[in-house]
Amino acid sequence: MVDQAHFFQDSDLDKNYGVLENKSGTEITSARLYFSGNVYENIEFKFQIEFAGEKVDFKDVYIGITDIPAVGNFRIGNLHEPFRLSALTSGKYITFMERGANSHFSSARSTGAVLFNDFFDDRLSIQMGVFRNPNNSSINSLKYDGHAVTGRMSVLPIRNKDKTELLHLGAAYSYRKSQSREYRVSISPGSRIADKYLQTGIMENVNHIGLANFETAYIHGPFSLQSEFLTAAVNTDEGIYHFSNYYGELSYFLTGESKNYRSSYEGFGRVKPKNNFRGKGNGFGAWEVAVKYSQTNLNDRTIIGGKQSQMVFGMNWYLNPVTRFMFNYVHASIENMGNMDIVQARLQIDF
Protein backbone atom coordinates (compact mmCIF):
# COMPACT_ATOMS: atom_id res chain seq x y z
CA MET A 1 0.00 0.00 0.00
CA VAL A 2 1.41 3.39 -1.05
CA ASP A 3 -0.33 6.54 0.25
CA GLN A 4 -0.14 10.16 -0.88
CA ALA A 5 -1.86 12.88 1.21
CA HIS A 6 -2.23 16.68 1.13
CA PHE A 7 -3.29 18.68 4.20
CA PHE A 8 -5.14 22.00 4.35
CA GLN A 9 -5.29 23.50 7.86
CA ASP A 10 -7.36 26.61 8.61
CA SER A 11 -6.14 29.70 10.48
CA ASP A 12 -7.70 28.57 13.77
CA LEU A 13 -5.67 25.35 13.78
CA ASP A 14 -2.60 27.40 12.81
CA LYS A 15 -3.17 29.57 15.87
CA ASN A 16 -3.91 26.71 18.30
CA TYR A 17 -1.42 24.06 17.09
CA GLY A 18 1.08 25.98 14.99
CA VAL A 19 1.54 26.27 11.23
CA LEU A 20 1.94 22.97 9.41
CA GLU A 21 5.55 22.14 8.65
CA ASN A 22 4.58 19.47 6.11
CA LYS A 23 1.51 20.10 3.96
CA SER A 24 1.82 16.81 2.10
CA GLY A 25 3.29 13.38 2.64
CA THR A 26 3.96 10.04 0.98
CA GLU A 27 4.20 6.78 2.88
CA ILE A 28 4.52 3.08 2.23
CA THR A 29 1.66 2.37 4.59
CA SER A 30 2.02 -1.38 4.52
CA ALA A 31 4.35 -3.90 2.91
CA ARG A 32 3.74 -7.39 4.24
CA LEU A 33 5.06 -10.87 3.67
CA TYR A 34 3.41 -13.97 5.07
CA PHE A 35 2.85 -17.64 4.68
CA SER A 36 0.09 -19.76 6.16
CA GLY A 37 -1.38 -23.20 5.84
CA ASN A 38 -2.88 -26.32 7.38
CA VAL A 39 -1.25 -29.59 8.38
CA TYR A 40 -3.03 -32.88 9.12
CA GLU A 41 -6.38 -31.22 8.39
CA ASN A 42 -7.00 -29.53 11.76
CA ILE A 43 -3.73 -27.69 12.59
CA GLU A 44 -3.43 -24.19 11.12
CA PHE A 45 -0.59 -21.67 11.21
CA LYS A 46 0.24 -18.19 9.96
CA PHE A 47 3.41 -16.10 10.03
CA GLN A 48 3.09 -12.48 8.87
CA ILE A 49 5.54 -9.59 9.17
CA GLU A 50 5.16 -5.98 8.05
CA PHE A 51 7.73 -3.51 6.73
CA ALA A 52 6.29 0.02 7.08
CA GLY A 53 8.19 3.26 7.59
CA GLU A 54 11.31 2.44 9.59
CA LYS A 55 9.75 -0.43 11.58
CA VAL A 56 9.46 -4.17 11.18
CA ASP A 57 6.47 -5.58 13.08
CA PHE A 58 4.96 -8.97 13.71
CA LYS A 59 1.30 -9.11 12.69
CA ASP A 60 -0.52 -12.46 12.63
CA VAL A 61 1.85 -15.05 14.09
CA TYR A 62 -0.08 -17.97 15.52
CA ILE A 63 -0.76 -21.70 15.65
CA GLY A 64 -4.31 -23.00 15.86
CA ILE A 65 -6.37 -26.16 16.28
CA THR A 66 -9.70 -26.36 14.46
CA ASP A 67 -12.81 -28.53 14.86
CA ILE A 68 -12.27 -29.31 18.55
CA PRO A 69 -15.34 -31.19 19.85
CA ALA A 70 -17.61 -28.99 21.99
CA VAL A 71 -15.07 -26.12 21.82
CA GLY A 72 -14.64 -25.18 18.18
CA ASN A 73 -11.35 -23.46 17.40
CA PHE A 74 -8.31 -22.47 19.44
CA ARG A 75 -5.45 -20.14 18.48
CA ILE A 76 -2.37 -19.01 20.38
CA GLY A 77 0.25 -16.44 19.39
CA ASN A 78 0.12 -12.80 18.25
CA LEU A 79 -3.38 -12.41 16.84
CA HIS A 80 -6.50 -10.26 16.65
CA GLU A 81 -8.41 -9.64 19.83
CA PRO A 82 -12.12 -10.34 19.14
CA PHE A 83 -13.10 -6.68 19.39
CA ARG A 84 -14.45 -4.12 16.83
CA LEU A 85 -15.63 -5.12 13.38
CA SER A 86 -13.51 -2.34 11.84
CA ALA A 87 -10.35 -3.81 13.39
CA LEU A 88 -11.12 -7.45 12.52
CA THR A 89 -11.51 -6.68 8.80
CA SER A 90 -8.14 -6.76 7.05
CA GLY A 91 -6.74 -3.39 5.99
CA LYS A 92 -6.75 -4.76 2.43
CA TYR A 93 -10.54 -4.80 2.43
CA ILE A 94 -11.70 -1.80 4.50
CA THR A 95 -13.89 0.72 2.66
CA PHE A 96 -11.86 3.83 3.55
CA MET A 97 -8.13 4.41 3.80
CA GLU A 98 -8.38 4.73 7.59
CA ARG A 99 -10.20 2.44 10.00
CA GLY A 100 -12.78 3.78 12.42
CA ALA A 101 -11.36 5.94 15.20
CA ASN A 102 -12.48 3.27 17.70
CA SER A 103 -9.37 1.31 16.65
CA HIS A 104 -7.18 3.76 18.62
CA PHE A 105 -8.58 2.88 22.06
CA SER A 106 -6.65 -0.40 22.27
CA SER A 107 -4.39 -2.55 20.14
CA ALA A 108 -6.00 -4.63 17.39
CA ARG A 109 -3.54 -7.52 17.93
CA SER A 110 -2.06 -8.84 21.13
CA THR A 111 -0.15 -11.92 22.28
CA GLY A 112 -2.49 -14.43 23.85
CA ALA A 113 -4.97 -17.21 23.23
CA VAL A 114 -8.50 -17.18 21.87
CA LEU A 115 -11.37 -19.68 21.63
CA PHE A 116 -14.04 -19.11 18.98
CA ASN A 117 -16.93 -21.04 17.49
CA ASP A 118 -20.04 -20.62 15.31
CA PHE A 119 -23.45 -22.09 16.04
CA PHE A 120 -26.83 -22.56 14.30
CA ASP A 121 -25.43 -22.66 10.77
CA ASP A 122 -22.97 -19.82 11.55
CA ARG A 123 -25.75 -17.45 12.60
CA LEU A 124 -24.38 -17.12 16.15
CA SER A 125 -20.67 -16.51 16.77
CA ILE A 126 -18.85 -16.34 20.10
CA GLN A 127 -15.18 -15.48 20.71
CA MET A 128 -13.28 -15.20 24.00
CA GLY A 129 -9.59 -14.57 24.65
CA VAL A 130 -6.96 -13.76 27.27
CA PHE A 131 -4.07 -11.53 26.19
CA ARG A 132 -1.01 -9.68 27.35
CA ASN A 133 -1.99 -6.02 27.21
CA PRO A 134 0.09 -3.87 24.81
CA ASN A 135 0.94 -0.53 26.38
CA ASN A 136 -1.54 1.98 24.95
CA SER A 137 0.50 4.86 26.44
CA SER A 138 3.61 3.92 24.44
CA ILE A 139 4.40 4.24 20.73
CA ASN A 140 5.80 0.70 21.01
CA SER A 141 2.82 -1.64 20.65
CA LEU A 142 5.01 -4.61 21.61
CA LYS A 143 5.76 -3.14 25.04
CA TYR A 144 3.57 -5.37 27.21
CA ASP A 145 1.74 -3.92 30.15
CA GLY A 146 -0.52 -6.16 32.21
CA HIS A 147 -3.31 -8.30 30.79
CA ALA A 148 -6.63 -8.10 28.98
CA VAL A 149 -9.71 -10.32 28.79
CA THR A 150 -11.80 -9.73 25.66
CA GLY A 151 -15.04 -11.35 24.53
CA ARG A 152 -17.44 -10.83 21.63
CA MET A 153 -20.74 -12.21 20.38
CA SER A 154 -22.50 -11.59 17.06
CA VAL A 155 -25.63 -12.81 15.29
CA LEU A 156 -26.91 -12.89 11.69
CA PRO A 157 -30.71 -12.49 11.90
CA ILE A 158 -30.81 -11.96 8.11
CA ARG A 159 -28.65 -13.90 5.64
CA ASN A 160 -29.46 -15.26 2.20
CA LYS A 161 -27.55 -18.08 0.52
CA ASP A 162 -24.91 -16.01 -1.29
CA LYS A 163 -24.70 -13.37 1.51
CA THR A 164 -25.79 -10.53 -0.78
CA GLU A 165 -28.48 -9.74 1.79
CA LEU A 166 -27.20 -9.89 5.34
CA LEU A 167 -27.63 -8.21 8.73
CA HIS A 168 -24.83 -8.51 11.31
CA LEU A 169 -25.28 -7.40 14.94
CA GLY A 170 -22.57 -7.68 17.56
CA ALA A 171 -21.36 -6.60 20.97
CA ALA A 172 -17.98 -6.94 22.69
CA TYR A 173 -16.30 -6.07 25.98
CA SER A 174 -12.63 -5.82 26.92
CA TYR A 175 -11.34 -5.63 30.50
CA ARG A 176 -7.79 -4.29 30.54
CA LYS A 177 -5.52 -4.17 33.59
CA SER A 178 -2.50 -1.92 33.14
CA GLN A 179 0.61 -2.90 35.10
CA SER A 180 2.18 0.53 34.55
CA ARG A 181 -1.14 2.11 35.62
CA GLU A 182 -1.01 4.32 32.53
CA TYR A 183 -3.38 4.79 29.59
CA ARG A 184 -3.48 7.07 26.58
CA VAL A 185 -5.70 7.67 23.56
CA SER A 186 -4.68 9.71 20.52
CA ILE A 187 -6.80 10.11 17.37
CA SER A 188 -5.75 11.22 13.89
CA PRO A 189 -7.86 13.70 11.86
CA GLY A 190 -8.37 11.05 9.19
CA SER A 191 -4.94 10.23 7.79
CA ARG A 192 -2.16 8.19 9.36
CA ILE A 193 0.36 10.57 7.78
CA ALA A 194 -1.15 13.62 9.54
CA ASP A 195 -0.38 14.86 13.06
CA LYS A 196 -2.80 13.83 15.80
CA TYR A 197 -4.76 16.67 17.39
CA LEU A 198 -6.93 14.67 19.82
CA GLN A 199 -4.90 13.32 22.75
CA THR A 200 -5.72 12.52 26.35
CA GLY A 201 -2.03 12.61 27.27
CA ILE A 202 -0.70 9.88 29.52
CA MET A 203 -3.26 9.21 32.24
CA GLU A 204 -1.69 7.97 35.48
CA ASN A 205 -2.93 6.01 38.51
CA VAL A 206 -5.16 3.87 36.28
CA ASN A 207 -6.65 0.81 37.99
CA HIS A 208 -8.30 -0.75 34.95
CA ILE A 209 -9.98 0.10 31.64
CA GLY A 210 -13.33 -1.21 30.42
CA LEU A 211 -14.07 -0.95 26.70
CA ALA A 212 -17.54 -1.77 25.34
CA ASN A 213 -18.30 -1.85 21.61
CA PHE A 214 -21.55 -2.30 19.69
CA GLU A 215 -21.58 -2.98 15.95
CA THR A 216 -23.93 -3.46 13.04
CA ALA A 217 -23.49 -4.12 9.34
CA TYR A 218 -26.07 -4.55 6.62
CA ILE A 219 -25.66 -5.68 3.00
CA HIS A 220 -28.37 -5.47 0.36
CA GLY A 221 -26.91 -6.18 -3.06
CA PRO A 222 -24.54 -3.33 -4.01
CA PHE A 223 -25.57 -1.27 -0.94
CA SER A 224 -23.94 -1.67 2.47
CA LEU A 225 -24.04 0.03 5.85
CA GLN A 226 -21.67 -0.31 8.80
CA SER A 227 -21.75 1.41 12.18
CA GLU A 228 -20.10 1.05 15.59
CA PHE A 229 -20.29 2.75 18.97
CA LEU A 230 -17.48 2.43 21.53
CA THR A 231 -17.37 3.68 25.09
CA ALA A 232 -14.30 3.63 27.30
CA ALA A 233 -14.43 3.74 31.12
CA VAL A 234 -11.00 4.50 32.59
CA ASN A 235 -11.01 3.73 36.32
CA THR A 236 -8.39 5.78 38.19
CA ASP A 237 -7.66 6.69 41.80
CA GLU A 238 -9.28 10.06 41.09
CA GLY A 239 -12.47 8.58 39.64
CA ILE A 240 -13.82 7.15 36.38
CA TYR A 241 -13.26 8.97 33.06
CA HIS A 242 -15.56 8.27 30.12
CA PHE A 243 -14.61 8.66 26.45
CA SER A 244 -16.47 7.59 23.32
CA ASN A 245 -16.49 7.21 19.55
CA TYR A 246 -19.14 6.37 17.01
CA TYR A 247 -19.19 6.21 13.24
CA GLY A 248 -21.53 5.28 10.44
CA GLU A 249 -20.61 4.56 6.84
CA LEU A 250 -22.56 3.86 3.65
CA SER A 251 -21.22 2.42 0.41
CA TYR A 252 -22.63 1.56 -3.00
CA PHE A 253 -21.12 -0.38 -5.93
CA LEU A 254 -21.94 1.43 -9.14
CA THR A 255 -21.02 -1.71 -11.09
CA GLY A 256 -23.31 -4.05 -9.13
CA GLU A 257 -20.89 -5.99 -6.87
CA SER A 258 -21.58 -6.69 -3.18
CA LYS A 259 -19.48 -6.54 -0.04
CA ASN A 260 -17.95 -9.91 0.80
CA TYR A 261 -18.83 -10.95 4.38
CA ARG A 262 -16.37 -13.68 5.37
CA SER A 263 -17.26 -14.45 9.00
CA SER A 264 -17.78 -12.80 12.37
CA TYR A 265 -14.13 -13.14 13.44
CA GLU A 266 -12.71 -12.17 10.02
CA GLY A 267 -15.09 -9.37 9.04
CA PHE A 268 -15.25 -8.43 5.36
CA GLY A 269 -13.08 -9.91 2.62
CA ARG A 270 -11.98 -9.54 -0.98
CA VAL A 271 -14.23 -7.95 -3.60
CA LYS A 272 -14.15 -9.61 -7.03
CA PRO A 273 -15.18 -7.33 -9.91
CA LYS A 274 -17.72 -8.72 -12.34
CA ASN A 275 -15.40 -7.57 -15.12
CA ASN A 276 -11.71 -6.86 -14.50
CA PHE A 277 -10.14 -3.74 -15.94
CA ARG A 278 -9.13 -4.77 -19.47
CA GLY A 279 -7.09 -7.98 -19.45
CA LYS A 280 -9.13 -11.15 -19.68
CA GLY A 281 -12.32 -9.54 -18.43
CA ASN A 282 -12.09 -6.63 -20.92
CA GLY A 283 -14.13 -4.43 -18.59
CA PHE A 284 -13.91 -1.44 -16.29
CA GLY A 285 -13.34 -3.16 -12.94
CA ALA A 286 -15.57 -2.47 -9.93
CA TRP A 287 -16.41 1.07 -8.78
CA GLU A 288 -17.57 1.89 -5.25
CA VAL A 289 -18.62 5.22 -3.71
CA ALA A 290 -18.85 5.70 0.04
CA VAL A 291 -19.46 8.27 2.77
CA LYS A 292 -18.67 8.15 6.50
CA TYR A 293 -19.42 10.33 9.53
CA SER A 294 -17.56 9.89 12.80
CA GLN A 295 -17.40 11.66 16.15
CA THR A 296 -14.91 11.17 18.98
CA ASN A 297 -15.09 12.70 22.47
CA LEU A 298 -11.97 12.65 24.67
CA ASN A 299 -13.23 15.30 27.10
CA ASP A 300 -14.25 14.36 30.63
CA ARG A 301 -13.70 16.16 33.92
CA THR A 302 -10.00 17.15 34.15
CA ILE A 303 -9.02 15.46 30.87
CA ILE A 304 -9.48 17.78 27.88
CA GLY A 305 -8.35 15.57 25.04
CA GLY A 306 -10.62 17.23 22.50
CA LYS A 307 -13.77 16.53 20.53
CA GLN A 308 -13.61 15.81 16.83
CA SER A 309 -16.17 15.22 14.09
CA GLN A 310 -15.20 13.83 10.72
CA MET A 311 -16.86 13.58 7.32
CA VAL A 312 -15.21 11.36 4.71
CA PHE A 313 -16.09 10.86 1.06
CA GLY A 314 -14.46 7.96 -0.75
CA MET A 315 -14.22 6.31 -4.14
CA ASN A 316 -12.65 2.90 -4.74
CA TRP A 317 -11.68 1.45 -8.08
CA TYR A 318 -11.06 -2.31 -8.02
CA LEU A 319 -9.08 -3.00 -11.18
CA ASN A 320 -9.16 -6.73 -10.38
CA PRO A 321 -9.49 -8.80 -7.19
CA VAL A 322 -5.94 -7.94 -6.01
CA THR A 323 -5.42 -4.35 -7.18
CA ARG A 324 -7.27 -1.30 -5.86
CA PHE A 325 -7.02 2.47 -6.16
CA MET A 326 -8.60 4.50 -3.32
CA PHE A 327 -9.42 8.21 -3.12
CA ASN A 328 -10.58 9.95 0.09
CA TYR A 329 -11.60 13.49 0.92
CA VAL A 330 -11.71 14.15 4.67
CA HIS A 331 -13.12 17.17 6.53
CA ALA A 332 -12.17 17.05 10.21
CA SER A 333 -13.51 19.57 12.70
CA ILE A 334 -11.87 19.85 16.13
CA GLU A 335 -14.34 21.57 18.43
CA ASN A 336 -13.33 25.15 19.34
CA MET A 337 -9.92 24.59 17.75
CA GLY A 338 -10.31 24.61 13.96
CA ASN A 339 -10.74 22.51 10.83
CA MET A 340 -8.59 20.43 8.52
CA ASP A 341 -9.23 19.15 5.01
CA ILE A 342 -7.32 16.14 3.67
CA VAL A 343 -7.10 14.88 0.12
CA GLN A 344 -5.42 11.47 -0.09
CA ALA A 345 -5.08 8.45 -2.35
CA ARG A 346 -3.77 4.90 -2.10
CA LEU A 347 -2.62 2.27 -4.58
CA GLN A 348 -2.48 -1.29 -3.26
CA ILE A 349 -1.76 -4.76 -4.56
CA ASP A 350 -1.72 -8.12 -2.80
CA PHE A 351 -1.10 -11.59 -4.11
What is the average per-residue pLDDT within 91-113?
Answer: 94
Assess whether pLDDT exceeds 60 at residue 143: no
Average pLDDT, whole number, for the chain? Answer: 93
What confidence tier does 55 reach under pLDDT thresholds 50, 70, 90? confident
What is the average per-residue pLDDT within 254-263?
Answer: 97
pLDDT of residue 281: 56
Write the pLDDT tens digit of every residue in 118-141. 999 999 999 999 999 876 655 444
Pairing label, strands 198-199, 206-220: unpaired
Spell out the SS3 assignment of 200-245.
CCCECCEEEEEEEEEEEEEEECCEEEEEEEEEEEEEECCEEEEEEE
pLDDT of residue 144: 62
pLDDT of residue 29: 86
Q: Which of 20-24, 66-70, 173-177, 293-297 has the lowest mean pLDDT?
A: 20-24
What is the average per-residue pLDDT within 260-285?
Answer: 89
- Parent domain of 134: 2-349
Assess whether pLDDT exceeds 60 at residue 169: yes
Phi-psi map region of 3: left, alpha, beta (phi>0 left; psi -120 to 50 alpha): beta
Assess whether pLDDT exceeds 90 at residue 54: no
What is the average per-residue pLDDT within 297-307?
Answer: 96
Please name which of 111, 236, 244 lies closest in space to residue 180, comparing C-alpha atoms: 236
How far apart CA 203 and CA 69 sit, in angstroms, is 44
Write the pLDDT tens digit of every residue in 313-332. 999 999 999 999 999 999 99
pLDDT of residue 141: 47
What confidence tier does 279 reach under pLDDT thresholds 50, 70, 90? low
Assess whether pLDDT exceeds 90 at residue 341: yes
Q: Which of 15-29, 61-75, 165-179 has the lowest mean pLDDT?
A: 15-29
pLDDT of residue 280: 61
pLDDT of residue 139: 47
How many of the other CB atoms lie within 10 Å of CB of 235? Answer: 15
CATH code for position 115 = 2.40.160.10
pLDDT of residue 9: 94
DSSP state of 195: P
What is the average per-residue pLDDT within 234-246?
Answer: 97
pLDDT of residue 42: 95
Domain count, the chain: 1
Please say whether the dihedral angle defined by the alpha carbons of residues 12, 16, 20 and 24, taken in this order, is positive or negative.
Answer: negative
Q: Which of 28-32, 82-86, 142-146 has the lowest mean pLDDT?
A: 142-146
